[in-house]
């Protein structure tokens, strides 16, 4: 059922001059989570927001804050992001140096722990931490920018990860991030994704966020109130 997929709009594509209002707008439009892309200009060639902005946005939505850290190293900053109101924090395993320790720290801080796999990263990277994670984020573009095209080879990785999650019996969200639009969303869901991040597909056209989110669930505009 595509309707059940969790939608986590990426505010990277929002109007940065009025981020609080944008977060409230996607909340009202039916977002299940709020995806916040944190970039450091080092792990990825772009620079975005820090914990102070996450804290400032928190009062604008009660939906879980799904914070994607594209920073290296992540460890020195995860406590600040946890204290700022992040409900779920995702790190990249190659942002190092000790993934297992980072995942433990996230849970000790009261956050759900996520692990993000870049397009060339093998699905097996999760094997020895599958009991330590609440979310797997499949990057279907190279991290750093919104508006890129979906890399179709990642569908096979989603299928592989779906099998691994089901075999584990653990309750793990399988999220896809990058180039997600109504067409690629359907492919991701069929491959086994349970959550979708979308930036440009949600934030295109003011006043149409509800239709845009519904379209990712496979619901046509004519059926959206
Ligand atoms: C890329 C980010 C994504 C990005 C998605 O590094 O992690 O969350 O904002 O943007 P779209 O949906 O436009 O590909
Ligand atoms: Zn992201």
The answer to whether the CB of 192 is under 6 A from ligand 1 is no
Ligand positioned closest to the Cα atom of 88? 2
Probe ligand 1: pick from 7, 9, 12, max atoms within 8 Å of CB? 12
Q: Which domain holds residue 89?
A: 6-219
pTM of full prediction above 0.95: yes
| Structural domains of the chain, count | 1
pLDDT confidence bin for 223, thresholds 50/70/90: confident
Q: Which residues are catalytic?
A: 37, 177
97: cis peptide before it, omega within 30°? yes
Q: Per-residue pLDDT tens for 172-207? A: 999 999 999 999 999 999 999 999 999 999 999 988
Q: Which two tokens stand for residue 205?
A: 């056209």
The answer on pLDDT for 1 being more than 70 is: no
Residue 224 lies in a domain: no
Q: If we measure between CA atoms, which residue out of 218, 206, 153 comes closest to residue 7?
A: 218
Q: Is 114 in the pocket of ligand 1 (CB under 6 A)?
A: no
Q: What is the CATH number of the domain that holds 154?
A: 3.20.20.70
Q: In what order do the strands lie in the sheet with 65-70?
A: 6-9, 195-198, 173-177, 135-139, 112-117, 88-91, 65-70, 34-39
Residue 225 lies in a domain: no
| Alpha-carbon dihedral 159, 163, 168, 174, rounded to 10 degrees | 20
Angle value at C-alpha 121, between 116 and 127, nearest 5 degrees: 75
């Amino acid at each position: 059922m595509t309707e059940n997929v969790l939608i986590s709009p990426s505010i990277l594509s929002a109007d940065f001059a009025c981020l609080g209002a944008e977060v409230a707008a996607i909340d009202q439009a039916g977002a299940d989570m709020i995806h916040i892309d944190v970039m450091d200009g080092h792990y990825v060639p772009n620079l975005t927001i820090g914990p102070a902005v996450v804290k400032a946005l928190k009062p604008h939505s009660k939906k879980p804050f799904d914070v994607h850290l594209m920073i290296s190293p992540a460890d020195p900053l995860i406590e600040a992001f946890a204290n700022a109101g992040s409900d779920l924090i995702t790190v990249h395993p190659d942002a190092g140096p000790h993934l297992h320790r980072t995942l433990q720290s996230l849970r000790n801080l009261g956050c759900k722990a996520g692990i993000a796999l870049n397009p060339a990263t093998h699905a097996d990277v999760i094997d020895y931490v599958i009991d330590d994670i609440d979310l797997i984020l499949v990057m279907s573009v190279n991290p750093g920018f919104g508006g890129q095209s979906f890399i179709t080879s990642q569908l096979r990785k989603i299928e592989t990860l779906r099998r691994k999650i089901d075999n584990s019996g653990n309750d793990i969200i399988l999220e896809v991030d990058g180039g997600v639009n109504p067409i690629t969303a359907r492919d991701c869901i069929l491959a086994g994704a349970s959550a979708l991040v979308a930036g440009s597909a949600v934030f295109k056209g003011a006043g149409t966020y509800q239709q845009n989110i519904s379209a990712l669930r496979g619901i046509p505009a004519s059926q959206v109130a």
